[in-house]
Amino acid sequence: MLSTAEALATLLSAASPITGTESIPTLDALNRVLSADVISPLDVPPMNTSSMDGYAIRTEDLTTDDNRRLPVSQRIPAGHAPEPLKPGTAARIFTGATVPPGADAIVMQEQTEAAGNEVTILHSPAPGEWITAQGADIRNGSIILPAGTRLTPQALGLAASVGCAELQVRRRVKIAVFFTGDELTMPGEPLKPGAIYNSNRFTLRGLLEKLGCDVTDYGIVPDKLDATRATLREAAQAHDLILTCGGVSVGEEDHVKPAVEAEGRLSMWQIAMKPGKPLAFGAVRRAAQQTDAATSDETFFIGLPGNPVSSFVTFLLFVRPFVLRLAGMQTVAPRALSLRADFTQNKADRRNEFLRARINAAGGLDLFPNQSSAVLTSTVWGDGLIDNPPNHAISVGETVRFIPFSELLN
C-alpha cells in the first residue's frame, strides 16, 4: 500500500496549473487565484500622515519650557491638502490627514491644552512621533500579491489600497462530478427497501463549490457500463477533472473502473490510511475537437470511496490539494497544530489514521467515540482530524498533530 505522503506526491506531480486567465473586477475576485503579480503603482500611504488626532508641530519650536504655547495656524482634516506649517505655530490635525510640510511631529490632543486660537503643548515629542511615513506600508513598484495567491477578503482590500480596479486571475477549475449506485436516492424521494440517501452528492458538491470550482453535476448515473462510459466521454470534453464517488471496486455492479479503463487510463491505489484506503487516479481521453478546458488531450479522473466519511477525508487530503494546484497555487498543504490529547486510544492501527476530534474548553482534544467510516455525524461534531501515525497508540496528555477543518476547508 502507498503511504499518504506517497499518494499525495504522485497526485501533485501530475497536476499542472490550468492556462486560461481572465481580468475581473477586484470586487468579484474573492477566492480566485492570481495569474500575475500585483505590483503597486504608488506608495501607501502616498504622503506622511498623522496617526492621531492632535497637533502638528516643529520640534525645534519647543526650545524652552516657557515656549510651549503656540498659535494654531491651520486646521487639517483627512482628505485636505495642508499649507506649509509656519514656524512657531501648530496645526490642528486629525487621524489620517496629511502632515503639513515643515512639521516633524504630532502631539496627541490628550497631551495639549487648547484655548481659543492657541494650544499649549504639554509633551516634548521626538521627531517623527505619531507620523506614519510615506510608503511605510507599501513602496511604489513592490510586489504586494504574488501570482498564485488565492484572494482572501484582506488581499482584495490590499489590492484596492493601491488602486487596482481589476485583477488578472486564472479561470475557475472545471470539474465534472457524478455518482454511481442504483441504491442511491435523492432526499425528497421515497426511500425504497435497500436504498440510501445520496449524502455524498451534497458533501462533495459543497466542498468543490467552497474551493471556487466551476462544477457540472451529472447526478446519479445508472449502474451500467454503457451509461458510465457515455457520461465519462461527455464530461471529458469540457472539464479539467472528473470526480466520482463509489463504483471503482471489482464487483459485477462496479462499472466505473472498466469504464475509465476503456475510455482512458486508470491506476487503482490502496493507501495505508483509515478511513479511506481505496483511491482511483487516471485520465479520460478527449475527442479530437478541443474545448478551452485545457490544452491536454485528456481530462484527469479521481474516484473516491463510497463510504461518506472515507469520501470526505480522502477529498480533503487528496482532491483539495490537487484542485488547488490545478488552480495555480504552489502552497497547498494545510497547516497543522500540536495539541494535547485529552483521551486515550490504546489500540494502534497499522495504517495512518485520521481521527475526528474537536478542541475542548481546556485547549485539548476530545475524540468522537465512533470512528467508523459510515458515521458522518463525526465530521459535523469535530473541528478537524488527528493525523495519527501507523502503529501508534495515543496516551492521554500526549501531543498529537491536529489538522483543523478551517484549514482543510479553505
Residue 185: the pLDDT is 86
Domain residue ranges in the chain: 4-20+172-326, 25-44+136-170, 49-132, 337-408
- Pick from 221, 231, 279, 224: which is nearest to 255 by CA? 224
Question: Is 18 in contact with 66 (CB distance < 8 Å)?
Answer: no
Average confidence (pLDDT) over 284-298? 70
**CA-based diameter of the chain, in Å?**
99
Separation of CA 129 from chain center: 38
CA quadruple 245, 247, 248, 251: dihedral, nearest 10: 160
Confidence check: pLDDT of 260 > 70: yes
Say which CATH topology domain 337-408 has. Beta-clip (2.40.340)
Question: SS3 for 107?
Answer: strand
- Among 19-28, 139-148, 275-284, 289-298, whose mean pLDDT is lowest? 289-298
pLDDT band with cut points at 50, 70 and 90 for residue 388 = very high
Class of domain 25-44+136-170 (CATH, top level): alpha beta
Task: Give the pLDDT confidence of 135-167 residue by residue, as tens digits.
Answer: 999 999 999 999 999 999 999 999 999 999 999
CATH of 4-20+172-326, one of 1.50.10.20, 3.40.50.2000, 2.70.98.10, 3.40.980.10: 3.40.980.10
Question: Quick check: 253 pLDDT over 70?
Answer: no
Is omega for the bond preceding 305 within 30 degrees of 0, making it cis?
A: no
- Whether 248 contacts 256, CB under 8 Å: yes
pLDDT per residue as tens digits for the range 10-39: 999 999 999 999 999 999 999 999 999 999
Tell me the average pLDDT across 101-126.
Answer: 96
pLDDT at res. 181: 77
Confidence of residue 134 (pLDDT cuts 50, 70, 90): very high
pTM of the model: 0.88
pLDDT band at residue 318 using 50, 70 and 90 as cut-offs? very high
What does CATH list as the number for 49-132? 2.170.190.11
Q: Is the pLDDT of residue 294 over 60?
A: no
pLDDT, residue 291, reads 47
What is the reported pLDDT for 192? 87
- Cα separation of 179 and 311, whole Å? 12
Q: Are 88 and 61 in contact (CB under 8 A)?
A: yes
Burial state string for 202-227 with b = 16 or more CB within 10 A and e = fewer than 16: ebbbebbeebbbbbeeeebbebeeee
When pLDDT is cut at 50, 70 and 90, the band that residue 183 belongs to is: confident
Q: How far apart are CA 273 and CA 376, in angstroms?
A: 17
Do 4-20+172-326 and 25-44+136-170 come out as alike in CATH topology?
no
